[in-house]
Amino acid sequence: MDGILVVDKPAGMTSHDVVDFIRRHFKIEKAGHAGTLDPAATGVLVILIGKATKLSSGLTSGDKEYEATLTLGKRTDSGDAEGKVLSESDTAGITEEEIRQAFKSFEGEIEQVPPMVSALRHKGKRLYQLARKGKEVPREPRRVHIKELRIKRVEVPEVDFSVTCSKGTYIRKLCDDIGDKLGCGGHLSYLRRTRAGEFTLEKSVLLDKLKSLSRDDLERRLLKI
């Protein structure tokens, strides 16, 4: 069995959890994913089965699209709602115009310092493994491209937005940086990936739906390579 499956990942599962379920449920030996989603995030997770696993590097290089919510006034060590709160600030004086100007300043080519809670490696160790032990190591900033950043709703402290960005962009870090720009801090409180490269939610299947499928049903659903 060889091909690509687009899953609408539910919140509360790691990307590896989804791959592991597919391996066990359908008795598949070789499976992986093209681009990790945080456990709290939902949406497009591209699963590669059989010979399709060889396509991983090419499929992770495409642009991504997300729907997200920034919550101002509270900064966390992970940049999202799962992390430890580092500081809290009053947001009463922040205007919508200031928020829009801050967002605008992050469009285009920018530099991001990867968060400690990430899957990048430092001397063979994942950064999140070091972060769990309370360690922080220097990280080099990386250039990323925020192709479109559009505010959809402003109800301070919450800001709903959509973003189209290049590979390697951390939306958690984007929220953290926008919060810093506004002087009040902020964190990512909601994230849904709507597109990864050419793969969209419209092509996806819910995990609960997969649970009711047979191996033959799955094979018919695979996008062939």
Q: Which residues are catalytic, by number?
A: 38
The region, left, alpha or beta by phi > 0 then psi within -120 to 50, assigned to residue 63 is beta
The tokens 């992390």 sit on which residue?
83
Strands (DSSP E) along the chain, which ranges?
Answer: 3-9, 31-33, 42-49, 64-72, 74-76, 85-88, 108-112, 121-122, 125-126, 142-155, 158-165, 186-196, 199-200, 205-206
Cα–Cα distance, 197 to 90 (Å, whole number): 38
Residues 6 or more apart whose Cβ sits within 8 Å of residue 53: 30, 31, 32
Q: Are 172 and 115 in contact (CB under 8 A)?
A: yes
The residue type at 173: K
